[in-house]
Amino acid sequence: MSSHFAIADNLFIDKLPIGIYRNTPGVGGRFLSVNEAMVSILGYDSAEELLNTDVSMLYVRPAERSSFVLELMQKNRIEQKRLHLRRKDGKTFYARVTAHTVYDDDGNIRYFDGALVPDFTEPESVPWEAEREQLATSRNSLQQEITRLEEENKTLQTHLADLHRQATASILAGGLAHEINNLNTTVLGLSQFIMSDETLRPDIQENLRRIADVVLRERALTRNMLHYIRPNPQETLSGNLTNCVESTLDLLSHEFKRNETVVLADLAPVADTRIDDHEVGQIVFNLLLNALHAVSECAEKSIRVRTWEDEELVCVSIRDTGCGVNPEHLDRIFNPMFSTRHAHPQNSTEPDTAQNEGGTGLGLSVSQILAKRYGGCIRVEPLTGNGSEFILELPRALAEPAHHPARSSERCPHIPDSADHA
pLDDT exceeds 90 at position 87: yes
pLDDT exceeds 60 at position 72: yes
Q: How confident is the model over 309-344, as pLDDT tens digits? A: 998 899 999 999 887 777 776 777 777 656 665 444
H/E element, 334: none
pLDDT exceeds 70 at position 152: yes
Cβ–Cβ under 8 Å, residues 278 and 231: yes
Q: Is there a cis peptide before residue 413, judged by omega within 30 degrees of 0?
A: yes
**Average pLDDT estimate for 221-240:** 64
Residue 220: CB atoms within 10 A of its CB come to 20
Q: How confident is the model over 387-403, as pLDDT tens digits? A: 889 999 999 865 443 44
pLDDT exceeds 90 at position 300: no
Q: How confident is the model over 16-60, as pLDDT tens digits? A: 788 999 999 887 889 999 999 999 999 999 999 999 999 999 999
User: Rounded mean pLDDT of the chain?
Assistant: 78
pLDDT-derived band at 198, boundaries 50, 70, 90 = confident
H/E element, 316: strand 313-320
Q: Choose among 14, 111, 119: nearest CA to 55.
A: 111
In DSSP notation, 201-233 reads -HHHHHHHHHHHHHHHHHHHHHHHHHHHHS--T
Q: Using alpha carbons only, what angle is made at residue 251 by residues 312 and 164, rounded to the nearest 5 degrees?
A: 95
| pLDDT, position 50 | 92
Amino acid (1-letter code) at residue 418: S
Query: Minimum mean pLDDT among 48-62, 79-93, 152-166, 175-189: which range?
Result: 175-189
Q: What is the largest CA-CA distance in the chain?
A: 141
Q: Choose among 275, 291, 292: nearest CA to 376.
A: 275
What CA–CA distance (Å, rounded) separates 112 from 100?
Answer: 6
pLDDT exceeds 50 at position 346: no
H/E element, 129: helix 128-195
H-only helix segments in 241-352? 241-251, 253-258, 277-294
**Average pLDDT estimate for 241-260:** 87
In DSSP notation, 352-383 reads --SS-SS--S-HHHHHHHHHHHTT-EEEEEE-
What CA–CA distance (Å, rounded) separates 300 from 383?
Answer: 15
What CA–CA distance (Å, rounded) separates 279 from 272?
Answer: 15
pLDDT exceeds 80 at position 360: no
What are residue 95's DSSP bridge partners? 83, 118
Residue 196: CB atoms within 10 A of its CB come to 9
Higher per-residue confidence, 196 vs 362 = 196
What CA–CA distance (Å, rounded) separates 231 from 277?
Answer: 9
Percent with pLDDT over 70 in the chain: 76
What CA–CA distance (Å, rounded) separates 250 from 254?
Answer: 8
Cβ–Cβ under 8 Å, residues 35 and 21: yes
SS3 of 243, please?
A: helix
Q: Is the backbone of residue 10 left (phi > 0), alpha (psi -120 to 50) or beta? A: beta
Cα 342 to chain centroid distance, Å, stands at 19
Q: Using alpha carbons only, what angle is made at residue 374 by residues 369 and 378, rounded to the nearest 5 degrees?
A: 50
**Average pLDDT estimate for 160-172:** 76
Percent with pLDDT over 90 in the chain: 27
pLDDT exceeds 60 at position 345: no
SS3 of 264, please?
A: strand
